[in-house]
Amino acid sequence: MDSGSILYKVTYRRIKNPRVEYRAGFLNLVVPYGYDAEILLDKYKKWIIKKKTYLQECLDISDNSDLVSRKESEFKALVYEISARLSAELELTLKEITFRKMKARWASMTSKRKMTINRAMSVLPEYLVEYIIFHELVHLMEMRHSKRFRQIISIRYKDFKKIDRHLYAYWLKIFHGKP
């Protein structure tokens, strides 16, 4: 279906509350059976346009972004070095780092001080690898992406929203083949 220049799909489910999902450049309206999806489109039109604009900005960044070629051993050494340096700066103790393929995130941190790194990060520029590791370490101080969390991130990375945009651009490039 099409709403102006925004393609979307309507998914009917046995749910109570309708919702709008915009993932990897695809708009999906999830609605209860018998619900008029146009109501949802009208209600969230500004949000949808904002998301579409953000996606286009990320695609433009992706066009001009190159993937880094690293051996696995080089990538692991880089992660260990950055993790040790940032842990010391933040006065935090990290117990373990593991590497694996992940489908939905760059990395994760447990309350037991164990960080899991997505192997796909190996093709990112070093500044993004450092940012992701810093982000995960901050989760040891503030588990949720709260206002306090963003404040801590912004002390070191004043332009963290721009960096997040770059990360999404690389995500699109790596996992969705754009472009």
The CA dihedral of 155, 156, 158, 164, to the nearest 10 degrees, is -120
> In the chain, what are the domains?
2-63 (no CATH), 72-175 (3.30.2010.10)
Q: Which pLDDT does position 145 carry in this prediction?
A: 93
pLDDT in tens, 42-98: 999 999 999 888 888 888 898 889 999 999 999 999 999 999 999 999 999 999 999
7-36 as b/e: b if 16+ CB within 10 A: ebebeeeeeeebebebeeeebebbbeeebe
Considering just the CA atoms, what is the radius of gyration of the chain in Å?
19
Pairwise CA distance, residues 168 & 59, whole Å: 9
Pairwise CA distance, residues 142 & 139, whole Å: 5
pLDDT tier at 24, thresholds 50, 70, 90: low
Q: What are phi and psi of 94, to 5 degrees?
A: -105, 125
Helices 72-90 and 126-138: angle between axes, nearest 10 degrees: 50
pLDDT in tens, 109-122: 998 999 999 999 99
Task: Tell me the whole-structure pTM to 2 decimals.
Answer: 0.83
Q: Which pLDDT does position 74 carry in this prediction?
A: 98
Q: Which pLDDT does position 69 carry in this prediction?
A: 95
